[in-house]
Amino acid sequence: MSETLSNIARSNDRVAPNAALQVEVIADFVCPFCFIGKRRFDEALKAVQGPSDVSWYPYQLNPEIPPEGQPFDVFLTRRFGSPAAVEPVLKHLTAEGKMAGIDFRFDKIRYVPNTISLHQVMQLAETLGVDQSALAEDLLSAFFEQGRNIGDKGELIDIAQTHGISAGDVNRVIDSDQVKQLVLTREGQVRASGMAGVPGYLVNRRLLVVGAQPTDVFVNAFDRAMFGEGTDALESPLLN
């Protein structure tokens, strides 16, 4: 992605609309709206029933978190200030999640990881031709539904192995300064576009859908990107 997302999405010199669907997902694995958005996005993909190519771009919501992670209660206190302020937020997320088929279990979460290593493994998955969306689903589910510390190397290896990625490859890519720099460079390109939060979905390099939008918004964006229907205005976020 040599151009910024906003330049690609707004360019007057676009590729012609076509019936194939290419989506670049920008997300992080400790973002509950990214999980909700993924489920809605997946439903939209099923609805269009056409050929699609989905790739994932890195974005760290909390790059300041120490490499070993941060206790969940500390993270929530620093972000929201008090348990009273946190409770309605978690209730809202739990309700939104249920409608998307997600069983958020915030009571099980003990640590919020620094997600750079997860993005490095996602980069490895792309290189190996592994289904990034399937891996992302398992990472999100492990964190939000099972309360697993997905920043722990052992947990990450366990999840990656279910997708045919060896422990040796996971160790190698996590320890690679070159892969880490590649991830940071790709993230920097996303941030340079002006994106200050996730999720985001760049559809056929024509439309940028921002936020965990309802399924019908994704379907409409797919139709517009593939067949040139409507305008190319960017979607407005409903959730942050």
What tens digit of pLDDT does each residue of 31-52 get?
A: 999 999 999 999 999 998 877 8
Domain for residue 198, yes or no? yes
pLDDT at 32: 98
What are the structure tokens assigned to 148, written together? 């697993």
Phi/psi at 17 (nearest 5 deg)?
-55, 145
Q: Look at the alpha carbons of 197, 20, 217, 12 in this order and tell me if their dihedral is positive or negative.
A: positive
Confidence (pLDDT) at 30: 97
Residue 66's Cβ-count burial label (10 Å; 0-12, 13-18, 19+) is exposed
How far apart are alpha carbons 27 and 11 in whole angstroms?
23
pTM score over 0.85:
yes
In the prediction, which pLDDT does 128 show? Answer: 97
Beta bridge partners of 208: 202
Confirm whether 136 is domain-assigned.
Answer: yes
pLDDT at position 6, please? 44
- Position 237 in a domain: no
The total number of residues shown for the chain amounts to 240
In a domain, 145, yes or no: yes
List pLDDT tens digits, range 94-125: 999 999 999 999 999 999 999 999 999 999 99
In the chain, the amino acid numbered 221 is A
Q: What is the pLDDT of residue 9?
A: 47
How many Å apart are CA 42 and CA 235, to the nearest integer?
Answer: 18
Query: Is 238 among the domain residues?
Result: no
- Exposure letters 19-48 (e unless 16+ CB within 10 A, then b): eebbbbbbbbbbbbbbbbbbbbbbbbbeee
* Domain coverage including residue 109: 5-227
Asked if residue 232 is part of any domain, the answer here is: no
What is the residue type of 231? T
Closest CA to 175 of 167, 164, 187: 167
- Number of domains present in the structure of the chain: 1
* pLDDT of res. 44: 96
Those residues of the chain that have pLDDT short of 50 are 1-4, 6-16, 230-240
> Does 30 map to a domain?
yes
pLDDT of residue 18: 55
Q: Is residue 68 part of a domain?
A: yes
Q: Are residues 102 and 144 in contact, defined by beta-carbon separation less than 8 angstroms?
A: yes
CATH number at residue 193: 3.40.30.10
